[in-house]
Amino acid sequence: MNTRTVRTEPDVHEYLWNRGRNTFLYVIAVLLLVVMLSVYVWQYIRLVEIQMKIKSAEAKISESKQKILNLQLRKASLSRLDRIDIAARERLEMHLPGKDDVIYLAEEIDNGP
């Protein structure tokens, strides 16, 4: 006796329908997984790009702060009073006023009407 089961035509159609549906669901699941992984990788790449921009900006800020400090030091050295006095005497040929160079003006007091 043959124990082999013969499938009827409706069983074959149901089997093929279920197989196609399962394949479709697997394809959808794989596509969703690929999309999710792509979004994750894209976000990670953006994160790395942003971190690189932040480091670059921090480096520029540090460089600018150093330039500011250097300029403040230069300003302080250039604005020393003894340096200004020497430059005024030697380059501009300025001198301290003598008694003859000073003119005093009388202050007028306005008493009003």
Structural domain boundaries in the chain = 9-94
- Cβ(94)–Cβ(88) under 8 Å? yes
pLDDT computed for residue 105 by the predictor: 83
Task: pLDDT band for 3, please (50, 70, 90 cuts).
Answer: low
Confidence of residue 111 (pLDDT cuts 50, 70, 90): low
pLDDT of amino acid 82: 87
The number of residues making up the chain comes to: 113
Measured between alpha carbons, how far is residue 113 from residues 106, 107, 108 in Å? Answer: 21, 18, 15
Q: pTM of the entire structure?
A: 0.52
| Distances, alpha carbon 57 to alpha carbons 18, 51, 74, 92, 107, in Å | 58, 10, 25, 45, 60
Structure confidence by residue, pLDDT tens digits, 82-93: 888 888 888 888
**pLDDT for the residue numbered 65:** 97
Task: Check pLDDT > 90 for residue 7.
Answer: no
